[in-house]
Amino acid sequence: MPDYNWPDADHRTLIGKRISRVDSPVKVSGRAKYTYDYHGANMLFGKVLRSPYAKAKIVSIDTSAAEKLPGVKAVEIIQKPDATAQWAGDEIVAVAAVDESTAEDAVRLIKVKYQPLSYLVSDAEPPAGAGEAAGPMSQDDIDDAISNQIPDAQLAQYLQEHGVTFKVDNDFLKDMEGEGASEAVLAAIRQAPYHEVKAAHHSNYQKTATQTSGDPDKAFAEADVVSEGLYGAPVIVHCCLEPHGSVSEWADKDHLFTHISTQNVSGIAAQMAEPLGVSAANIRIHQDNIGGGFGSKFAADRWDIAAARLSRKAGGKPVRIMLERDAELKVAGARPSAYARVKVAARKDGTITGWQSQSWGTGGPGGGGMPPIPYVFGIPNQRKEHTAIRNNIGPARAWRAPNHPQAAVISMGALDDLAAKLNMDPLDLWLKNLEIAGPRRDVYREELAVAADLMGWKEKWRPRGQNVSGNVARGLGLSIHTWGGRGHASDCDLTIHPDGSVDIKMGTQDLGTGTRTTIVIVAAETLGIPIEAINLYIGDTLYPPSGGSGGSTTPGGVSSSTRRAAVDAREALFGKVAPALNAQPEDLECVNRTVRVKSDPSRSLDWKQACAKMGAMPLTARGHNDQVAGNNHPDLTNSGVGGVGMADVEVDTETGIVKVKKMVAVQDCGLIIDLKTAESSCYGALTMGISYALFEEKVMDQATGRMLNPNMEFYRLAGLNDIPELVVHMMTGKGYDERGVIGLGEPPVISPGAAIANAVANAIGARVSFLPITPDKVLAALNQRKAGA
């Protein structure tokens, strides 16, 4: 049995070092090709007519004038009369024309009659008593819940308690599996009791969770201190710089070729097959590079199906539909909001004894679920109630660490307010309660110590509102977080050629997280050759399937499948080379571009000579990582990380402007393959965190039902000058490396918002309840504090 285990520290020459991203040169030179850059011969340009109303019944559609416009090659009605557009920007008709301006002209010639319906685009606190009791789930409800990444246990419990409104069949289960439903959720759907009738949703409000554990009444009655507060984070959008979209072309009536901007190369064909009536085996998906996804690009979207249909109507010519910036921000995904009124009970010494929350939020038409609150800390006595708001703001999609940043803002905010009420340094409160911080409590202890040191917490920290000089208030805040990150299913083909060249083929994708770099480091380390010697091919369904890049599952998946393929290929090579070295295959090793005898390194062949012993035929090994841990022998990946975020902010109490002065991230993720890109993930996460903490919000106009800021001027992203000193420390060495590889995309983005919110509270002595912490909210909080004082 070959030894797949990761090499130990003494035998790693590449793994864990700082290695430059292998695709940097093509990116900085402008040579990297993205879906948006693909320009097929005779390509047609697709444009989409979108609903101007937040909710409207489509009465009639007249496309005749558009069809007659010279240059228009195909028209595709996406939603027919009698359908109801569910948000402003919902797709109605798509057209394809010889150039973009003609397509735009054609869209303007389409006449649609709408019957506007009443809508809701607010996610304000539900009125008292609002909210239908929980009921059984329809297919759409389940679909929405999975899209919103409602935690598995929550969804499974709900299905068990409330059942479903339809007879579950295998097709539905297969669809849900394709959407990413876990085994646990699929089992829960299969076993859910059937309830015949479920009236259409009449209310926009639904109580989706009511949970009690322990004895909260007793805990609050006996508490020395009860802290109350209001916390939350609004709907934000992904704002991928490369918008969603694709270019589709038909080679013949049965064979489709689609270039698509996706986080899910291997999973797209199956989604397109049914709506297009063609077998998934006949759909080829390709993507070289993706300009951002952040969780929003797993699906073949309606506009992608429309592009393929337009292409078919136009005789197979390539049709490109890439979303315009406004559409990208309106319809291509949003992070659900979450708000909560929280009460926390504690003893004088800081021991937390009780939690009570009424939370609400929206993920658009699907409503959404309760974020995992209280976050990280398993507070013993709890009462929680969550109301989901179904509204017409557009659909939610997974956004880096779905539900966790919101949970952190609410929970870490509530605990920070408790610390203030107890006159405790929050760092001490966190440390005091680590016993209830779950399986990673010892990791948090280590990480908090490192983070406090890097921040200079003990030297800098002052009680609330007591670090003020003139109109400048300074403050510190912290938060901790957790995530899974086990490797997904992944297949890797590694081929060694007789001339010594090596290629790897895998249907994965590199989101800018360093996936390519991870794969070649693992292969080069295993074969003892430089990373430049490996030709890597990813991003195509011609290659073995590998999971979608979401939930921090990619590093574990691709590193494990690559390691297995490389070890098997190496063993096969040893078999061919051993006679020439007068040794047994198991006595050989690959080191420093040679194949040599372990006990006598002087007996060696350089890599090329060794490969020449293969004869004429190359050899290929297939490595597989199974997403079920127990099926991997040995398991090279793992699940469950901690992580700490700390913020140091400066608030101008006259203008209300918050300036982040320093951020610290301390993060574990098991065995790190490339330290350089791992750190970059954390720097990026801190930056995104500053952005959503201070600037980002999808602002809806109550009067028209439309998004008010669907552009990059008023949907503000952090800029170069908003980013201060960022300090990242990765936990490595004993206790971490031997755990195997764990993904990193999600965890470090969770804490920054909560840490910044807490730092602002520490600076100004008042809580700004909801992100983003804009100057108007800071001034309002200061005024409220003055009025209360």
Q: Which residue, among 642, 584, 101, 548, has the nearest Cα to 285 in the 3D structure?
A: 548
Q: Which residue's CB is nearer to other proteins, number 188 or number 239? A: 239
Considering the rule CB under 8 A, would residue 60 count as an interface residue with other proteins? Answer: no
Using CB atoms within 10 Å of the CB of residue 510, give its burial: 0 to 12 exposed, 13 to 18 middle, 19+ buried. buried
Tokens of 628: 């079920």
Amino acid at residue number 71:
G
For tokens 């063993």, what's the residue?
A: 571
Considering the rule CB under 8 A, would residue 166 count as an interface residue with other proteins? Answer: no
Considering the rule CB under 8 A, would residue 458 count as an interface residue with other proteins? Answer: no
- Binds other proteins (CB under 8 A): choice among 213, 466, 702, 711: 711
How far separated are the first and last CA of the chain, in Å rounded?
Answer: 73
Residue 701 DSSP class: -
Contacts of 684 (CB under 8 A, 6+ apart): none
- Identify the bridge partners of residue 492 per DSSP, sorted by sequence position: 623
Considering the rule CB under 8 A, would residue 34 count as an interface residue with other proteins? Answer: yes
- Binds other proteins (CB under 8 A): choice among 13, 57, 83, 104: 104
Using an 8 Å Cβ cutoff, are 436 and 380 in contact? yes
Considering the rule CB under 8 A, would residue 125 count as an interface residue with other proteins? Answer: no
Considering the rule CB under 8 A, would residue 602 count as an interface residue with other proteins? Answer: no
Binding letters toward other proteins, positions 497-526, x by CB under 8 A: --------------xxx-------------
Q: Which residue, among 657, 688, 681, has the nearest Cα to 760 in the 3D structure?
A: 657
- Binds other proteins (CB under 8 A): choice among 691, 751, 758, 769: 691
Considering the rule CB under 8 A, would residue 42 count as an interface residue with other proteins? Answer: no
Contacts of 267 (CB under 8 A, 6+ apart): 178, 298, 547, 548
Q: In angstroms, give the least distance from the CB of 780 to other proteins.
A: 28
Range in contact with other proteins (rule: CB under 8 A) among 15-23, 266-274, 439-447, 540-548: 15-23
- Identify the bridge partners of residue 770 per DSSP, sorted by sequence position: 232
Considering the rule CB under 8 A, would residue 218 count as an interface residue with other proteins? Answer: no
- Binds other proteins (CB under 8 A): choice among 688, 742, 757, 779: 688
Phi, psi of 380 (to 5 degrees): -65, -40
Q: In angstroms, give the least distance from the CB of 776 to other proteins.
A: 22
C-alpha separations of 61 from 56, 72, 77, 731 in Å: 13, 17, 8, 59
Using an 8 Å Cβ cutoff, are 392 and 365 in contact? yes
Considering the rule CB under 8 A, would residue 240 count as an interface residue with other proteins? Answer: yes
Considering the rule CB under 8 A, would residue 445 count as an interface residue with other proteins? Answer: no
Q: In angstroms, give the least distance from the CB of 265 to other proteins.
A: 15
C-alpha separations of 205 from 139, 282, 389, 617 in Å: 18, 43, 5, 65
Range in contact with other proteins (rule: CB under 8 A) among 26-34, 167-175, 457-465, 606-614: 26-34
Q: Beta strand pairing status for 502-506 and 534-538? A: parallel
Q: Which residue's CB is nearer to other proteins, number 20 or number 212? A: 20
Cα gap 480→643, rounded to integer Å: 6
- Binds other proteins (CB under 8 A): choice among 142, 352, 718, 773: 718
Cα gap 206→360, rounded to integer Å: 10
Contacts of 184 (CB under 8 A, 6+ apart): 152, 153, 156
Q: 255 in helix, strand or coil?
A: strand
Q: Which residue's CB is nearer to other proteins, number 22 or number 346? A: 22
Q: Which ranges of 334-440 does DSSP label H, i.e. alpha helix? A: 404-421, 426-432
Q: In angstroms, give the least distance from the CB of 734 to other proteins.
A: 27
Q: Which residue's CB is nearer to other proteins, number 239 or number 373? A: 239
Q: In angstroms, give the least distance from the CB of 31 to other proteins.
A: 8
Cα gap 483→745, rounded to integer Å: 10
Q: Which residue, among 385, 334, 389, has the nearest Cα to 357 in the 3D structure?
A: 385
Considering the rule CB under 8 A, would residue 491 count as an interface residue with other proteins? Answer: no
- Binds other proteins (CB under 8 A): choice among 5, 24, 471, 655: 24
Considering the rule CB under 8 A, would residue 33 count as an interface residue with other proteins? Answer: yes
- Binds other proteins (CB under 8 A): choice among 75, 137, 146, 290: 290
Q: Beta strand pairing status for 283-286 and 255-260? A: parallel
| 668: enclosing H helix or E strand | strand 658-668
Q: Which residue's CB is nearer to other proteins, number 11 or number 39? A: 39
Tokens of 427: 């760092």
Cα gap 154→142, rounded to integer Å: 12
Asked whether the CA dihedral 310, 312, 315, 319 is positive or negative, the reply is: positive
Range in contact with other proteins (rule: CB under 8 A) among 135-143, 287-295, 602-610, 762-770: 287-295
- Identify the bridge partners of residue 505 per DSSP, sorted by sequence position: 493, 537
- Binds other proteins (CB under 8 A): choice among 302, 676, 739, 785: 676
Range in contact with other proteins (rule: CB under 8 A) among 56-64, 366-374, 436-444, 715-723: 715-723
- Binds other proteins (CB under 8 A): choice among 1, 28, 128, 133: 28
Considering the rule CB under 8 A, would residue 708 count as an interface residue with other proteins? Answer: no
Considering the rule CB under 8 A, would residue 70 count as an interface residue with other proteins? Answer: no
Considering the rule CB under 8 A, would residue 292 count as an interface residue with other proteins? Answer: yes
Q: Which residue's CB is nearer to other proteins, number 220 or number 399? A: 399
Contacts of 398 (CB under 8 A, 6+ apart): 147, 148, 149, 295, 296, 298, 550, 551
Q: Which residue, among 495, 552, 505, has the nearest Cα to 527 in the 3D structure?
A: 495
Q: Which residue's CB is nearer to other proteins, number 104 or number 571? A: 104
Considering the rule CB under 8 A, would residue 780 count as an interface residue with other proteins? Answer: no
Q: Which residue's CB is nearer to other proteins, number 302 or number 676? A: 676
Using an 8 Å Cβ cutoff, are 307 and 565 in contact? no
Range in contact with other proteins (rule: CB under 8 A) among 16-24, 410-418, 469-477, 774-782: 16-24
Considering the rule CB under 8 A, would residue 723 count as an interface residue with other proteins? Answer: yes
- Binds other proteins (CB under 8 A): choice among 3, 99, 349, 776: 99
Binding letters toward other proteins, positions 323-362, x by CB under 8 A: -xx-------------------------------------
Q: In angstroms, give the least distance from the CB of 170 to other proteins.
A: 37
Q: Which residue's CB is nearer to other proteins, number 243 or number 550? A: 243
Contacts of 221 (CB under 8 A, 6+ apart): none
Considering the rule CB under 8 A, would residue 30 count as an interface residue with other proteins? Answer: yes
Q: Which residue's CB is nearer to other proteins, number 92 or number 276? A: 92
Range in contact with other proteins (rule: CB under 8 A) among 168-176, 404-412, 714-722, 768-776: 714-722
Q: Residues, the chain, total?
A: 789
Considering the rule CB under 8 A, would residue 673 count as an interface residue with other proteins? Answer: no
Contacts of 273 (CB under 8 A, 6+ apart): 279, 280, 283
Number of residues that bind other proteins (CB under 8 A): 57
Cα gap 488→537, rounded to integer Å: 19
User: Where along the sequence are the contacts to other proteins (CB under 8 A)?
Assistant: 20-21, 23-25, 27-34, 36-37, 39, 99-101, 104, 239-243, 289-292, 294, 322, 324-325, 511-513, 676-677, 679-680, 683-688, 691, 711-713, 717-721, 723, 726
